[in-house]
Amino acid sequence: MVSESLILDAPVRPQLEWKTAQGLVPYPEALAQMEARADGIAAGEARELVWLLEHPPIYTAGTSTNDADLLDARFPVYRTGRGGQFTYHGPGQRVGYVMLNLKQRNPDVRAYVRDLEQWLIESLALLGVKGERRDGRVGIWVARKNREDKIAALGVRIRHWVTFHGVALNVNPDLSHFSGIVPCGVREHGVTSLADLGLKATMADADAALKQSFEKIFG
């Protein structure tokens, strides 16, 4: 028998909602919804959320962006408050916007970023890919013959201990679209995707892997 005092003293795990968008979500619309949801979470008026979506082809610039890394503004460019540098979003890339209340979880920014990286690594493992961290380079990398390519990116912002922005996993995007930027400021290496690695994973497969591994990492 569990005493009433133990029940009252038990930590309360935040309620988490998953949402998967249909079609392509314009970036300004996504940003507005993200910020509103993050404010609601901070105020205790909304549940935590992981939002899976795709964007039309765009480039986004983080707070550490070097403008020289924009080589060809062939798509709209959005300045954003997330960390990091230039990145590309577009069809065939699964974006995961993560809105969590770190105050109720673990108020440690570095640990949160590490958890996001581990989430991607374990999701890729479920899909048959060995993703790895690299010192001094943001994102998740795949070792290939005579080179390394980036398969997933991350950039976060935290306000009132609530996270937003998140991760991007290349499932089957047009990799030529990355040529307009120096992705995350790294000139020496390229980008890849599940399809480029010869895997026939669908977006639904990627979503299933992300959901399964998220629970393992974040509860």
Annotated active-site residue in 41, 52, 156, 184: 184
C-alpha 35/C-alpha 45 separation (Å) is 13
Q: Which has the closest alpha carbon to 34: 99, 85, 89?
A: 99
Decide: 138 and 146 in contact? Cβ < 8 Å: no
Q: Is 215 exposed, middle or buried (0-12, 13-18, 19+ CB in 10 A)?
A: exposed
Q: Which residue has the tokens 């990355």?
A: 178
Active site residue 184: yes
The runs of H, that is alpha helices, within 61-202 are 109-126
User: Residue-wise over 140-156: b if at least 16 C-beta within 10 A, else e?
Assistant: bbbeeeeebbbbbbbbb
How far is the C-alpha of 207 from the C-alpha of 175, rounded, in Å? 20
Tokens of 87: 């990145």
CB 113 within 8 A of CB 82: no
- Enumerate the active-site residues: 184
